[in-house]
Amino acid sequence: MDNPINIAVDAMGGENSPAKVIKGIEIHSSKSKNIFYNIFGDKNTIEPIIKKTKVSNEIYKIIHTNNFIEDTDSPLSAAKKGKDTSMWLSIESLKNLKSDAIVSAGNTGALFVIAKLNLKMIEKIDKPALSALWPNKNGMNIVLDLGANIECNEKNLVDFSLMGSALHKSLFENEIPKVALLNIGSEELKGNNVIKNTYQILSDKTNSLFEFKGYIEGNHIMDGDVNVIVTDGFTGNIALKTAEGTATFITSELKQALNSSFIGKLSSLLNIRNLKKFKNKLDPRLYNGAILLGLDKPVIKSHGSTDEVGFANSLKVCEKIIKSKLIDKIKKNIN
């Protein structure tokens, strides 16, 4: 391969790993060219699986280790497990320039800590932010921070605006990033001082990367008028998880309603094509892949409970981020 993109894959974290990871690689590699996968984990488990797939042995290498971080490990106990865990080794391959990005479906807290121990921050950025895709009426939002920092100051939120916009541009190159600050509505009560000051800074700032659209309330996140939503990690995490919980609640109530009688079942069957379209649009696997922004290498977290399709999508996110030179884009715009 000519200068392939090298993706470090931690094969051992999350539900049904490494099987779903390997099958995710099969799906991704069938659609993408010039990618090389550095797969970190237990060779004895991985090899028999990957040999049953159509993945050519010219596009991957298995780097064996027996030491894995469990989903139940605390970040501290994970770091103590040492430098030969599959997660540590895969992150280290970024540091050693053997890989261009890393993806893991493992322990989020551990991934953060080990990434921060091994990788440098982008110059002038104080805090990393966890960002993810969130569907809206017209496409996809980037929302950040989703839990890396409980408290943020004005500088952090301005940095998040830049990093989130650069990420949006990398994933959806034809769209203009439109940034909004997540806030509450009532005039009198509007926001704390950090949010108000950030509003002022972003209003005064001229930049070629994004348009600043002011405040947004929780009920308008999915309207599609903006596409980069900035907030502190506490609020962002609560918002994301509340949206997830609401979606689960509604779809399970809907399922119950549709299946609660014979006629209901019958008409559900008739309707199955339309419901599938609905389900596809809301399929969380479509926007699987949270990105830890602020480090000088791309670190991607796949949802632990996703399947091979979801994992393949997080590999796609890796690929887009590298091809679009996300990190360079951030460096050029930061100040």
Is 34 or 74 the residue whose CB approaches its own copies more closely? Answer: 74
Alpha carbons 176 and 169: distance in angstroms, whole number = 7
Residue from 176, 192, 325, 332 touching its own copies (CB under 8 A): that is 192
Is 48 or 185 the residue whose CB approaches its own copies more closely? Answer: 185
Binding segment for its own copies (CB under 8 A), chosen from 160-168, 245-253, 286-294, 309-317, is: 245-253
Residue from 139, 205, 242, 328 touching its own copies (CB under 8 A): that is 242
Count Cβ neighbours within 10 Å for each residue of 36-67 and write b for 16 or more, e otherwise.
Answer: bbbbbbbbebbeebbeeeebeeebbebbebeb
Q: Is 263 in the site for its own copies (CB under 8 A)?
A: yes
Q: Is 150 in the site for its own copies (CB under 8 A)?
A: yes
Is 54 or 281 the residue whose CB approaches its own copies more closely? Answer: 281
Cross-strand bridge partners of residue 215:
181
- What are the CA-CA distances from residue 285 to residues 24, 80, 118 (Å)? 12, 32, 29
Residue from 126, 151, 175, 328 touching its own copies (CB under 8 A): that is 151
Q: Is 290 in the site for its own copies (CB under 8 A)?
A: no
For the CB of residue 168, give the shortest distance to its own copies in the complex, in Å: 19
Residue from 66, 185, 214, 332 touching its own copies (CB under 8 A): that is 185
Question: Roughly what angle, to the nearest 10 degrees, separates helices 19-31 and 43-51?
Answer: 40
Residue from 253, 325, 328, 332 touching its own copies (CB under 8 A): that is 253
φ/ψ of 9, rounded to 5, equals -120, 115
What one-character-per-residue DSSP string does 42-82 give?
A: -HHHHHHHHHTSS--TTSEEEEE-SB---TT--HHHHHHT-
Is 99 or 108 the residue whose CB approaches its own copies more closely? Answer: 108
Residue from 19, 59, 201, 258 touching its own copies (CB under 8 A): that is 258
Alpha carbons 55 and 101: distance in angstroms, whole number = 20
Is 49 or 300 the residue whose CB approaches its own copies more closely? Answer: 300
Amino acid identity at 9: V
Region of 173 (left: φ > 0; alpha: ψ -120 to 50; beta: rest) is alpha
- Calculate the CA 123 to chain-centre distance: 22
In the window 79-118, what residues touch its own copies (CB under 8 A)? Answer: 108-109, 112-113
Q: Find the angle CA(103)-CA(105)-CA(110) to the nearest 5 degrees.
A: 90
Binding segment for its own copies (CB under 8 A), chosen from 40-48, 199-207, 264-272, 283-291, is: 264-272
Count Cβ neighbours within 10 Å for each residue of 72-88 and write b for 16 or more, e otherwise.
Answer: ebebeebbebeeebbbb
Is 63 or 182 the residue whose CB approaches its own copies more closely? Answer: 182
Q: Find the angle CA(18)-CA(308)-CA(21) to the nearest 5 degrees.
A: 25
Kind plus residue range of the DSSP H or E element containing 211: strand 211-216
Q: Is 189 in the site for its own copies (CB under 8 A)?
A: yes
Residue from 66, 260, 325, 328 touching its own copies (CB under 8 A): that is 260
For the CB of residue 248, give the shortest distance to its own copies in the complex, in Å: 7
Q: Is 138 in the site for its own copies (CB under 8 A)?
A: no
**Coil/strand/helix, residue 214:** strand
Pick from 200, 231, 226, 230: nearest CA to 213: 226
Q: Is 270 in the site for its own copies (CB under 8 A)?
A: yes
Residue from 222, 286, 309, 334 touching its own copies (CB under 8 A): that is 222
Interface with its own copies by CB under 8 A: which residues? 74-76, 108-109, 112-113, 135-137, 147-148, 150-151, 182, 184-189, 191-192, 217-223, 231, 233-235, 237-251, 253-254, 256-258, 260-261, 263-264, 266-268, 270-271, 273-275, 277-278, 281-282
